[in-house]
Amino acid sequence: MRRRILEAATELIARDGIGGLRYDQVAELAEVNKTSVYRNWPDRSALVADALTTFGADVAPLQDSGDIEADLVDFLEALAAATASTQGRALLTVVASAREDPELRAIVDEVFERRLSILEHRLKTAIERAELPPVESSFLAEMLAGPVQLFVTRGPRAFTRADAARVTNVVLAGIRATHGT
């Protein structure tokens, strides 16, 4: 039931924006009683944050195969596909509109913090295994995701696995080359 509610909320946010999100529509789309939505998310901001976080985690999971480079390539490829989807593009519009709305900005920041904590955990493991030197995870996340976002929103062709590998290799080479400087 929770998954259906979060999927419905994500779909509605993508379609109508956060300002247009109504609990009765979420309940109808999820095929649950409206009280189920309120009981699980009495705070609308929490529902939005959980929906956006779940969308991100579901469409671009970060695995631990023991190979940080392969894991980041997989992550970037999935991130690009999610961003290029109709729902992903709509959610990017919602995120972009957060600059003008402090409440929305707080929700978007919370979503990014949750996502960053997943990346931080994976990076910590990679550092412990000596796959990477110590690195600021938020900086690495921005360096990896930035090119994907630009490419998908402005690129003349689809973002490929080769593109994901190239971005990962360049960013990790830079991290390794500048370690200790």
Name 63's Cβ contacts closer than 8 Å, sequence gap at least 6. 71, 74, 75
Is pLDDT at 108 greater than 80 in this prediction? no
Query: Picking from 31-40, 96-105, 130-139, which range would have the lowest pLDDT averaged per residue?
Result: 96-105
Q: Which long-range contacts (CB under 8 A, 24 or more apart) does 153-157 make?
A: 153/83, 153/89, 153/92
Are the CB atoms for 29 and 115 separated by under 8 Å? Answer: no
Cα separation, 154 vs 135, in Å, equals 29
Name 79's Cβ contacts closer than 8 Å, sequence gap at least 6. 59, 60, 145, 148
Are the CB atoms for 159 and 147 separated by under 8 Å? Answer: no
pTM for this structure?
0.72
In this structure, what token pair is assigned to residue 161? 């696995």
Residue 104 has what pLDDT? 73
Residue 79 has what pLDDT? 84
Residue 58 has what pLDDT? 62
Residue predicted with more confidence, 82 or 108:
82
- pLDDT tens, residue by residue, 10-69: 888 888 877 788 999 999 999 999 999 999 999 888 888 888 777 766 666 788 999 999
H runs (alpha helix) in 129-179: 137-154, 161-178
Rg of the chain taking only CA atoms, in angstroms: 18
Residue type, 110: E
- pLDDT tens, residue by residue, 135-166: 988 889 889 988 988 888 887 788 999 999 99
Q: Tokens 């080769």, residue?
A: 162
Confidence of residue 167 (pLDDT cuts 50, 70, 90): very high
Residue 90 has what pLDDT? 67
Q: Which domains does the chain have, with CATH numbers?
A: 1-43 (1.10.10.60), 60-178 (1.10.357.10)
Are the CB atoms for 109 and 44 separated by under 8 Å? Answer: no
Q: How far is CA 166 from the centre of its chain?
A: 20
Is pLDDT at 130 greater than 90 in this prediction? yes
How far does the chain reach from its first CA to its final CA, in angstroms? 51
